[in-house]
């Protein structure tokens, strides 16, 4: 064989081997991706299974918290510990589900026009009691942006800011946590960056250590980071969510100078309408309480404990009448006999499921067919929302049910009366 022939043979062999290696590598990648998708689906399903019993724990503790008259001081302290632990457990579970959704590209960002001052007031209400209990001052400065609306995903923005605030309050032993907001933009229709700066007066740390906030495997670095009760994943998730929204979450610190988090988010801003009504610092249950005395609310769930918990929570809002049904068929019968102002409908039930029951109610064409129906469920993925909306549901209340979320939902459906929308 000539030298030329030998070279051609070697080249062909190498090309064939390279192609085979490439195909093998491609097959490996596809197999790995499929296995990762299977693992993600398994973990997501497992986490969803935990939401039902957690709903019962959280709901029972909330109901008990409203009826704690007669408890000893020690019993009240234990109840407080149980409440805090259940909230932290719920938060950690929700974080895991969000991270799995982000990794599977299932999590969607849903921007809407947001009254920013009201958003900040909501954050103040949420954290004021926690800061007072810790003996830490909590200061919000929204003066520069009090008359602006921003286009953003309000729920995710609040989630990210809340995560950082929780961390700062937890690690600050004395002094204050301060939150300031600013916006860079120009003109009446503004495109720019919404900047939130959260500062605390904690002991601080070397700058190189701050990235451990977003890396759960590095939490052994500092005592402050170790003592975060489930917020390790939350900080990592907050950064992932901010990235998803096109922004950035950074942190700076040095020993003796506290910690400074900065959350930057690209948004579009518009001036608030003239004469916009100011919102007062009142809890949702107090805002709607006086309006519910003549309302009848139906709760549909096949779990008797869930029905009992929902009834207890609704009674805190002084609802005129709370009825219950164990399945969708019974719900349709009740609604056809007497007027209901609002229905909370579980999805998976025997005899008649929640989606089918909703369709039956909507297509009957009678006076009660337009009653607001809220999905009461642990299934809160984007594709689930689409199914609920298609069936004719107006809103979604995730399990575990938190009392503020419950009465905010009631306020949306019975006070604000928006158009049919699964949110």
pLDDT value at position 246?
95
Pick from 308, 328, 319, 333: nearest CA to 373: 328
How many Cβ atoms are within 10 Å of 284's Cβ, its own excluded? 20
Residue 152 has pLDDT above 90, yes or no: yes
Dist CA 307 CA 312 (whole Å): 9
Dist CA 193 CA 247 (whole Å): 9
How many Cβ atoms are within 10 Å of 334's Cβ, its own excluded? 18
Dist CA 377 CA 412 (whole Å): 18
Dist CA 177 CA 202 (whole Å): 9
Residue 65 has pLDDT above 90, yes or no: no
Q: Residue 423's pLDDT band (boundaries 50, 70, 90)? A: very low
Q: Report yes or no: 107 and 101 within 8 Å, Cβ to Cβ.
A: yes
How many residues are listed for the chain in this entry? Answer: 423
188-215 pLDDT tens trace: 557 899 999 999 999 998 898 888 888 8
How many Cβ atoms are within 10 Å of 137's Cβ, its own excluded? 14
pLDDT mean over 103-125: 88
Q: Residue 360's pLDDT band (boundaries 50, 70, 90)? A: very high
pLDDT value at position 82?
80
Least confident range from 25-39, 85-99, 367-381, 398-412: namely 25-39
Q: Which pair of tokens denotes residue 290?
A: 């006086």
Pick from 89, 415, 325: nearest CA to 229: 89
Q: Residue 102's pLDDT band (boundaries 50, 70, 90)? A: confident
pLDDT value at position 229?
47
What is the pTM assigned to this prediction? 0.67
Dist CA 29 CA 27 (whole Å): 5
Dist CA 276 CA 320 (whole Å): 31
* HEC sequence for 75-128: HHHHHHHHHHHHHHHHHHHHHHHHHHHHHCCCCCCCCEEEEHHHHHHHHHHHHH
Mark out the alpha helices in 279-340 (DSSP H runs).
284-289, 304-315, 328-337
pLDDT value at position 421?
41
Least confident range from 7-16, 99-108, 160-169, 212-221: namely 7-16
How many Cβ atoms are within 10 Å of 76's Cβ, its own excluded? 12
Q: What percent of the chain has pLDDT over 70?
A: 76
Q: Which residue has the higher pLDDT, 318 or 253?
A: 253
């Amino acid at each position: 064989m000539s030298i030329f022939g030998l070279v051609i043979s070697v080249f062909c062999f190498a090309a064939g081997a390279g192609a085979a290696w490439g195909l093998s590598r491609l097959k490996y990648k596809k197999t790995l991706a499929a296995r990762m998708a299977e693992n993600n689906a398994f973990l997501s399903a497992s986490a969803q299974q935990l939401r039902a019993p957690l709903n019962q724990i959280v709901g029972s503790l909330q109901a008990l918290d409203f009826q704690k008259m007669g408890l000893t001081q020690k019993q009240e302290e234990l109840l407080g510990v149980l409440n805090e632990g259940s909230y932290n457990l719920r938060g950690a579970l929700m974080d895991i589900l969000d991270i799995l959704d982000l990794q599977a590209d299932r999590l969607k960002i849903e921007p809407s026009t947001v009254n920013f001052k009201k958003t900040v007031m909501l954050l103040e209400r949420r954290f004021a009691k926690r800061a007072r209990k810790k003996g830490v001052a909590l200061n919000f400065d929204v003066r520069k942006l009090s008359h602006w609306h921003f286009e953003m995903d309000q729920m995710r923005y609040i989630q990210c800011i809340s995560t950082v605030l929780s961390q700062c309050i937890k690690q600050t032993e004395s002094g204050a946590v301060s939150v300031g907001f600013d916006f860079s933009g120009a003109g009446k229709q503004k495109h720019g960056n919404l900047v939130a700066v959260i500062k605390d007066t904690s002991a601080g740390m070397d700058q190189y250590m701050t990235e451990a906030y977003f890396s759960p495997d590095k939490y052994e670095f500092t005592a402050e980071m170790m003592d975060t009760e489930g917020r390790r994943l939350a900080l990592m998730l907050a950064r992932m969510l901010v990235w998803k929204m096109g922004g950035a979450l950074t942190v700076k610190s040095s020993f003796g100078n506290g910690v400074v988090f900065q959350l930057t988010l690209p948004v579009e801003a518009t001036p608030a309408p003239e004469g916009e009504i100011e919102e007062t610092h009142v809890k949702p249950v107090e805002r709607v309480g006086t309006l519910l005395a003549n309302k009848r609310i139906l709760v549909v769930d096949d779990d008797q404990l869930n029905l009992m918990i929902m009834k207890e929570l609704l009674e805190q809002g002084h609802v005129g009448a709370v009825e219950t049904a164990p399945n969708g068929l019974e719900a349709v019968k009740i609604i056809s006999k007497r007027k209901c102002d609002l229905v909370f409908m579980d999805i998976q039930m025997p005899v008649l499921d929640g989606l089918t029951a909703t369709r039956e109610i909507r297509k009957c064409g009678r006076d009660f067919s337009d009653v607001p129906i809220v999905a009461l469920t642990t299934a809160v993925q984007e594709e689930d929302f689409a199914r609920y909306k298609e069936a004719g549901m107006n809103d979604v209340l995730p399990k575990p049910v938190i009392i503020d979320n419950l009465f905010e939902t009631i306020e949306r459906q019975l006070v604000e009366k928006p158009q049919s929308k699964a949110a």
